[in-house]
């Protein structure tokens, strides 16, 4: 329909639907300051022309057509004319309402959590730890609390969240989430964003976690058969070398699978893990026994062009998985009896039983001792640990062949 064909106003529904676009945008009066706008691309919408309190004229959009019908547009226009007659400005009211909504968005738990995590990052928290926090925020906390204003989150909300995590026996996760929620609200309170503190008593109602069990590990009498079996494992070179590196260095499996070639100096027989990967947020120097050096030189022929010592399979797997090392042990018959992390307990127990000083063992495990003496140093007791870990690797070799002369070995300590 052409504009010239319009016969009456208010505009009939058939007119609204049939009006054709022109080369330029145009408006057709419906009545009482309400206009129907047609754009060159065919888009149609409603606008109200009114005089603002300051005396100037303004346009206010009432919505697109056909979502807003003629009848609905006229009702909206009538309501706005009442606002204008009362001395208010609908546009200013709309802007104020939007500003209030925007302000409310900055006071949601999600916004507070993101700002809190950003502050953690700026203070130098390790990227691996930041990623872990981000994972639990996205998986557990934000789906429950994220879109709620800080002032509206109740103790019941927080208690139900904690209970839902405990229900899947993830008590350690529940404890971490409880701590983070309290820190997020604490920061928000400090910034004046809220006075609400709904997570402050969650510890009082936390479910009792089951007694922590140690990672499956082996004791000295069991090591001979295990080491013999491991020497004949059918696992591929990358997997079995990762398993042996855990054993020879007593390193965390996560550190091993994410190890990069640039961290290794095979001439100096050291592996330096950067602070970003360490729980203690300090570089850590690990001595490499001769057995590890031999294995790494063999591995370098296979993966030396990669960033990683132990690359994964496929673009989505840059490194071997968390379970690869455990699968190596399972393959030789030790499923449920030994896991990657358990090799640290095995090393700690055996070294202490053979008289190696606690501080040297703890330093090799990258543990921090209590008090002033525990101030962390990346190369703490390195000379001692070089000697200790070579002794350990040699001792394991003798256990594997059943030819251990305890007196001879213990004299070295």
Does 392 qualify as catalytic in the annotation?
A: no
CA 145/CA 157 separation, integer angstroms: 8
CA 77/CA 73 separation, integer angstroms: 6
Residue 19 and residue 28 in contact, taking contact as beta carbons nearer than 8 Å: yes
Catalytic residue among 252, 257, 360, 385: 252
Does 217 qualify as catalytic in the annotation?
A: no
Here the tokens at position 55 are: 């005396």
Does 341 qualify as catalytic in the annotation?
A: yes
Catalytic residue among 134, 367, 384, 387: 367
Catalytic residue among 44, 120, 176, 279: 279
CA atoms 140, 143, 146, 151: torsion sign: negative
Does 367 qualify as catalytic in the annotation?
A: yes
> In sequence order, what are the residues at sequence separation of 6 or more whose Cβ sits closer than 8 angstroms to the Cβ of residue 248?
288, 289, 291, 292, 389, 392, 393, 396
Does 279 qualify as catalytic in the annotation?
A: yes
CA 339/CA 317 separation, integer angstroms: 21
- Adjacent-strand bridge partners of 35: 29, 47
Catalytic residue among 327, 341, 352, 368: 341
CA 293/CA 332 separation, integer angstroms: 24
CA 207/CA 178 separation, integer angstroms: 12
Catalytic residue among 187, 376, 384, 387: 376
**SS3 assignment, position 37:** strand
Among the listed residues 38, 32, 30, the one whose alpha carbon sits nearest the alpha carbon of residue 9: 30
> What DSSP letter does each residue of 338-388 carry, written as one string?
--TTHHHHHHHHHHHHTT--HHHHHHHTT---SSGGG---TTTTHHHHHHH
Residue 60 and residue 93 in contact, taking contact as beta carbons nearer than 8 Å: no
**SS3 assignment, position 238:** helix
Residues forming the active site: 252, 279, 341, 344, 367, 376
């Amino acid at each position: 329909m052409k504009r010239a064909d319009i016969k009456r106003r208010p505009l009939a529904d058939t007119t609204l639907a049939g009006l054709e676009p022109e080369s330029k945008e145009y408006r057709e009066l419906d009545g009482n300051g309400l206009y129907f706008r047609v754009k060159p691309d065919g888009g149609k919408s409603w606008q109200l022309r009114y005089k603002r309190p300051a005396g100037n004229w303004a346009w206010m959009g009432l919505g697109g057509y056909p979502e807003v019908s003629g009848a609905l547009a006229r009702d909206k226009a009538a309501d706005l004319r009442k606002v204008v007659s009362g001395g208010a400005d609908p546009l200013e009211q709309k802007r104020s309402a939007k500003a209030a909504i925007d302000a409310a968005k900055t006071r949601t738990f999600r916004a507070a959590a993101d700002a809190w995590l950003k502050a953690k990052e700026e203070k130098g928290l390790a990227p691996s730890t930041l990623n872990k926090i981000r994972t639990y925020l996205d998986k557990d906390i934000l789906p429950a609390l994220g879109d709620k204003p800080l002032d509206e989150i109740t103790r019941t909300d927080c208690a139900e969240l904690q209970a839902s995590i405990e229900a899947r026996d993830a008590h350690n996760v529940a404890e971490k989430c409880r701590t983070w929620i309290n820190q997020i609200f604490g920061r928000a309170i400090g910034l004046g964003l809220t006075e609400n503190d709904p997570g402050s008593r969650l510890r009082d109602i936390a479910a009792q976690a089951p007694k922590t069990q140690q990672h499956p590990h082996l004791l000295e009498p069991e090591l001979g058969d295990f080491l013999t079996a491991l020497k004949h494992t059918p696992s591929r070179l990358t997997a079995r070398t990762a398993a042996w590196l855990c054993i020879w260095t007593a390193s965390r499996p996560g550190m091993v699978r994410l190890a990069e070639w640039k961290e290794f100096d095979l001439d100096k027989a050291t592996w330096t893990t950067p602070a970003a990967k360490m729980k203690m947020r300090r570089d850590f120097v690990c001595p490499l026994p001769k057995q590890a050096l031999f294995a790494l030189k063999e591995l370098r022929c296979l993966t030396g062009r990669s960033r990683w010592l132990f690359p994964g399979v496929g673009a989505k797997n840059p490194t071997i998985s968390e379970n690869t090392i455990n699968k190596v042990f399972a393959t030789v018959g030790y499923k449920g009896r030994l896991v990657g992390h358990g090799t640290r307990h095995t090393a700690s127990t055996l070294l202490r039983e053979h008289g190696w000083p606690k501080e040297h063992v703890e330093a090799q495990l990258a543990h921090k001792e209590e008090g002033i003496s525990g101030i962390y140093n990346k190369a703490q007791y390195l000379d001692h640990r070089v000697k200790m870990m070579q002794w350990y690797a040699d001792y394991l070799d003798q256990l594997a062949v059943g030819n251990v002369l305890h007196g001879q070995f213990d004299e070295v300590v």
